[in-house]
Amino acid sequence: MTKSQIKESIDRLRENINRHNYLYYVKSSPEITDFEFDQLLKELEDLENKNPEFASPLSPTKRVGNDILSSFEQGDHKFPMLSLGNTYSEEDLNEFFDRTEKTIETTPNYTCELKFDGVAISITYENGNLTKAITRGDGNRGDIVTDNIKTIKSIPLTLMGNDYPESFEIRGEVLMPFSSFETINEERIQEGNDPFANPRNAASGTLKMLDPKVVAHRKLDCMLYYMASDSVSEITHFEAMTNARTYGFKVPDTMRLCKTREEIKEFISYWDKERENLPYAIDGVVIKVNNFDLQKQLGFTSKTPRWAISYKFKAEQELTKLNDITYQVGRTGAITPVANLEPVQLAGTIVKRASLHNADQIAIHDIRINDMVYVEKGGEIIPKVVGVDKTKRENSSEPLQYITTCPECNTELIRIEGEAKHFCPNETGCPPQIKGRIKHFISRKAMNIDGIGEETVELLFDKKYIKDITDLYSLNADDIKVLDGMGDKSAEQLITGVEESKKMPFASVLFALGIRYVGETVAKKLARGVKNIDSLIAMNKEELIEIDEIGEKIAESIIDFFADETKKQMTLKLKEIGLKMELEEEELNNSDVLKGLTFVITGTFEKYSREELQLLIEKYGGKKTSSISKKTSYLLAGKNVGPAKMQKVEKLGINIISENEFLNMIE
């Protein structure tokens, strides 16, 4: 390769890696496996090492992935949260041992721990009380998610005993067990939402939600694996984590102290098979030098500790024939290609269909019909095609021509700049989109209509009883009771459920409309900000952005929604039918009492839980944050407030109010 070609390859790799880094850490929707990502990164590292003239401080090889979101306040890590180096082979593992032992001139003991497939978190304790929790972020600074972390029951709010360090951070992985994952995905499908791809994505998405009550409902778990402090008295990592268990932390009992390489390899081999029986996902084993002094001697690179490495398992793969590719149309018009496979046993289940993600992924792997393809389960759950055995390809094979028109309504597809998927723009005439919007409208967190499920929506639409959302309100029990599986009782229950939905609050109606990017939480903010639907329809972009948590992307989506005359008239018809299109009297009269005030809640309370107090703050127009700053208006303090928080409040001169004083403010 010429120098010019090498530079082109480096630039292309950086662009590709940055994109996948963003999808993984920010969007929580990876399109490639960890192994494929690591191979891309390794290829880039090799090129940069051999061609130092093309080095750049902005290269993805010089940074840790970033998951910082603007919806959370950020905080600094006292001790950087670096990523681990990865290896997939015994040869690479031996190189790690050789390099380590050569540097420290001895053979150390190592700890072996399971590498949990979740979201990294650092939790700070002061005087035995949980004070702050921060995501990894960019390694030096992350999102403060303290209130969400406090909903995880396996994380102690107050420590046991009294021999713990006065101040320390403990690191771990927030997980979603398989049982919770399956339940959440069932709920999302029933509500008309796309299911999470795997438990790691579900945990990541949950931890970044703004409503701690929803986080609590999803039953996350957390495994702790490292203590960071200036005052840890133990001399080994194994001893420190053993003691951490006595403080009340959930430290995995699978951790082992190994004295030889053979013991480490036996541990890896055992868990490579036994992981199928665990209640949560793991993707490898972490090996650490046990002694803290030796860890300090080994030190760090710019982004990884030299005293630790992760051995990552390869996901179970099977080779099978790709018989055909079909295309699914989602509620938003997004097109998803699906591989129809020769049935194959994979990770304990028979797999017949697998995701192909989008046109780019098909092109990257050059996937063709009748190919022999490698299939694996992403996060051990969702099947996906990850490669092709081109040695078995038929000579007559031709590259796949991705569809250009919608498979349901034959409308020409479009591709929006910055989007990975193709879309069908025929929102009002494409059956899957219409049915998807109706299914979203009736879902529990939207209009919560009892007596009607997805199958009933399909039946009513196919039999031409409904053609859009508004038709639900003109259904007649006598007409629909003759439908298959309906009957008198079911028909009456459906009509009652539709009528009862008129009592749902304005925020639920906004969510139910299906405006892109307007989820449940945004809908609540929007309802409080606009007060009624007529104001919302009339607002311009600048006015919308002034509303709390409404950014440009959401504002533009709202404007586009009501600029569509069909959607605007549908909304006005729903108002005419009797759906609540404005805040109720109580909400309207009281919503601005706390406007412009910011609260931090701490301690335990008698009359309300902390989650209920947060809802009251938001209901009356205030804002609740997790950390104290100069912008904090009040510290709403209950019992058992940590001394560190009180000192900071006093230093900044912030007003402290009790639960009763707060209630007097809103009364």
pTM for the predicted model, two decimal places: 0.51
| Residue at 27 is within a domain | yes
- Structural element, H or E, at residue 258: strand 256-258
Q: Tell me: do 181 and 154 sit in the same domain.
A: yes
Q: Tell me how far apart the alpha carbons of residues 376 and 384 are, in angstroms, rounded to a whole number.
A: 6
Domains identified in the chain, total number: 5
84, containing H or E segment: none
Q: Which domain holds residue 34?
A: 3-62
Res. 260 pLDDT band, cuts 50 70 90: very high
DSSP string, 217-255: HT--EEEEEEEE-S----SBHHHHHHHHHHTT----TT-
Instruction: Return the axis-axis angle of helices 3-25 and 34-50, rounded to nearest 10°.
Output: 150
- The residue type found at 240 is A
Answer yes or no: is 399 within a domain: no
Q: What is the pLDDT of residues 363-376, one digit of tens each?
A: 988 999 999 999 98
Indicate whether 339 and 268 sit together in one domain: no
In a domain, 143, yes or no: yes
Q: Residues near 663 by Cβ (< 8 Å), separated by ≥ 6?
A: 607
Portion of the chain with pLDDT greater than 70, in percent: 93
Last residue of a domain, one of 525, 560, 585: 585
Does residue 445 carry a pLDDT above 60?
yes
pLDDT in tens, 559-603: 999 999 999 999 999 999 999 999 887 666 656 788 888 898 888
Is there a single domain that holds both residue 222 and residue 108? Answer: yes
Looking at 8-17, 112-121, 608-617, 629-638, which range is the least confident one?
A: 608-617
Mean pLDDT of the chain: 86
Q: Residues 489, 619: one domain?
A: no
pLDDT band at 42; cut points 50, 70, 90: confident
Instruction: Please compute the mean of the pLDDT values over residues 47-68 and round it to a whole number.
Output: 71
Can you give the CATH number for the domain in which 623 is found?
Answer: 3.40.50.10190
Q: Does 287 share its domain with 338?
A: no
The 86-87 sheet, strands edge to edge: 86-87, 308-312, 282-289, 110-116, 256-258
Contacts of 517 (CB under 8 A, 6+ apart): 553, 554, 557
Domain end, chosen from 62, 95, 110, is at 62
Q: What CATH number is attached to the domain comprising 368?
A: 2.40.50.140
- Asked if residue 409 belongs to a domain, the reply is no
Tell the burial category of 380 from Cβ atoms under 10 Å away from its Cβ (0-12, 13-18, 19+).
Answer: buried
For residue 501, pLDDT beyond 90: yes
Q: Are residues 125 and 265 in the same domain?
A: yes
CATH number, domain of 579, equals 1.10.150.20
Res 82 pLDDT > 80: yes
384-399 mean pLDDT: 90
In terms of domains, do 43 and 146 share one?
no
Residue 115: active-site member:
yes
Task: Tell me whether residue 453 is in a domain.
Answer: yes
pLDDT single digits (tens) 448-470: 998 888 888 999 999 999 999 99
| Nearest to 632, CA basis, from 662, 611, 660, 601 | 601
Residue 426 inside a domain? The answer is no
Domain-located, residue 30:
yes
What average pLDDT does range 273-286 have in this prediction? 88
**pLDDT bracket for residue 26 (50, 70, 90):** very low
Q: Are residues 82 and 167 in the same domain?
A: yes
Same domain, 568 and 600: no
Q: What is the mean pLDDT of residues 489-493?
A: 89
529's CB contacts (< 8 A; 6+ apart) are 546, 547, 548, 550
What pLDDT is stored for residue 641 in this prediction?
75
> Tell me, what CATH number does 187's domain have?
3.30.470.30
Of 115, 132, 208, 384, the active-site residue reads 115
Please tell me whether residues 257 and 152 are part of one structural domain.
yes
Q: Is residue 69 part of a domain?
A: no
If asked whether residues 296 and 340 sit together in one domain, one would say no
Q: Of the residues 253, 286, 312, which one is the last residue of a structural domain?
A: 312
* 55-59, 106-110, 621-625: least confidently modelled range: 55-59
Residues 78, 132 within the same domain: yes
